[in-house]
Amino acid sequence: MTDSTPIRLLDLAPVAPIRSQTIYHAVGYALGPDSPDTIMLVSPDAPYVSIGRHQDAAREVDLDYCAAHGYPVIRREVGGGAVYLDGNQLFTQWIFRAEHLPATVEARFDLYIDSLVRTYRALGIAADHRPINDIHVNGRKIGGTGAARMDRAEVVVGSLMFDFDTSTMAQVLRVPSEKFRDKVRQSLADYMTTMRRELGEPPPRADVVATYLATCSEVLGRTIVPGELRADELALAEEFDARFATREWLEEGGGLRRPGVKIHEGVRVGEGAHKAPGGLIRCIATVRDDRLDDVAFSGDFTALPASVPNDLDAALVGCELAEEMLLSRVIDYYERVSPEIPGVGPSDWVAAVLQATTPQVPA
């Protein structure tokens, strides 16, 4: 992991919502043999909603509300949950060569979060790392983080939270009722915090950036030097701008819109969810004669490789609907592929399947 070459800093001016996502994807996928490791700082110039790589947009986000209020909904390749974003967050994105970061995603989270925790503490905010990948201040969340692999690049992302609009965050989420939305809004207000909430007035951006970069240099043991985006990175960002704006990309990872219903004797479709330490796993399953005929996973977990949910879908089709048989197949997949899914083990996928396939007894 040790390396003495300088890290390139890309401290960008505010950019369009879609570009605030596509630019770090472009730098990641453009990373070549001679490319530098990069720390990117960027904020959007307008509000939007970002959803995680494995989420179903229609299930997690109130798409009609977002459309009516002009909030684009953009899928990212990084895991995690749906979040409302605006210019009050400074995104801090590490795009590094794999050999220059720890070998596991959990260890990469530890290193990356250490830089944010130290920054907040230097600013007078008593932040702590709450495993697996959150940052808390006295029991309130001040940020989450995510990770992805983009060809040669390992990417870790998060933000420095100057302020956060909890009311709009509650509005953009899909919830079962307005009463439930009120509870979400209150919970966000009670259990999230920001620099503004902790300090009264957030420090100037330049001061926060200087503190963060000094901390990163110390944590990584490397110098950080200002740089510029290359032409190939900008060209790839433009390609991703077009791709990320399509309905096909937004709906990728979806397919979880079928209701829980009995189709005919011996065939039923059900849905369920299981909360693992590493995130929520949603499952919809079709059962035919007590075997899984079809299964689809989504959720706000982090999974490397990104194909994990689809791989598990394929691994479980045809399996007898018995806990030990399901668990055997998932364990076999873990042993063959060695996926990195922090806080999500084989039994968590099985629990989601059983939640989806166990007939519910009416209250």
Asked if the domains 7-251 and 261-357 are classified in one and the same CATH topology, the answer is no
Q: What is the pTM of this model?
A: 0.89
**What whole-number distance in Å separates Cα of residue 10 and Cα of residue 42?**
8
Range list of H helices, 255-317? 308-316
Amino acid at 271: E
CB 302 within 8 A of CB 146: yes
pLDDT score, position 358: 85
CATH of domain 7-251: 3.30.930.10
Enter the tokens of residue 328: 């055997």
* Residue 257: per-residue pLDDT: 36
- Quote the CA–CA distance of 254 and 266 in Å, as a whole number: 26
d(C-alpha 149, C-alpha 78), whole Å: 8
How far apart (Å, rounded) are the C-alpha atoms in residues 18 and 44? 8
How far apart are alpha carbons 11 and 18 in whole angstroms?
17
- Single out the residue of 335, 278, 15, 5 nearest to residue 132, CA to CA: 278
Coil, strand or helix at 295 = strand
CA distance 243 to 18: 10
Q: What is the pLDDT of residue 163?
A: 98
DSSP 207-256: HHHHHHHHHHHHHHTS-EEE----HHHHHHHHHHHHHHTSHHHHHTT---
Tally helices (H) and strands (E) across the chain. 13, 16
- The CA distance from 36 to 111, in Å, is 19
Superfamily of domain 261-357: CO dehydrogenase flavoprotein, C-terminal domain (3.30.390.50)
99 secondary structure, DSSP code: G
Q: How far is CA 146 from CA 149, 171, 304, in A?
A: 11, 23, 11
Question: Where do the structural domains in the chain lie, given as residue ranges?
Answer: 7-251, 261-357
Q: How far is Cα 284 from Cα 295, in angstroms, rounded to an integer?
A: 6
Q: What does the pLDDT read at residue 252?
A: 80
CB of 72 within 8 A of CB of 42?
no
What would the two tokens of residue 362 be?
């009416």
SS3 (DSSP) at 201: coil
Cα separation, 93 vs 10, whole angstroms: 10
Phi and psi of 36, rounded to 5°? -80, 155
Q: What is the DSSP string of 283-307?
A: EEEEEETTEEEEEEEEES---BSTT
Tokens of 356: 């989806």
pLDDT along the chain (363 residues), means of 10: 86 98 98 97 98 94 98 96 97 97 97 98 98 95 95 97 97 94 94 97 98 98 98 98 96 50 61 95 91 93 95 96 96 97 97 88 42
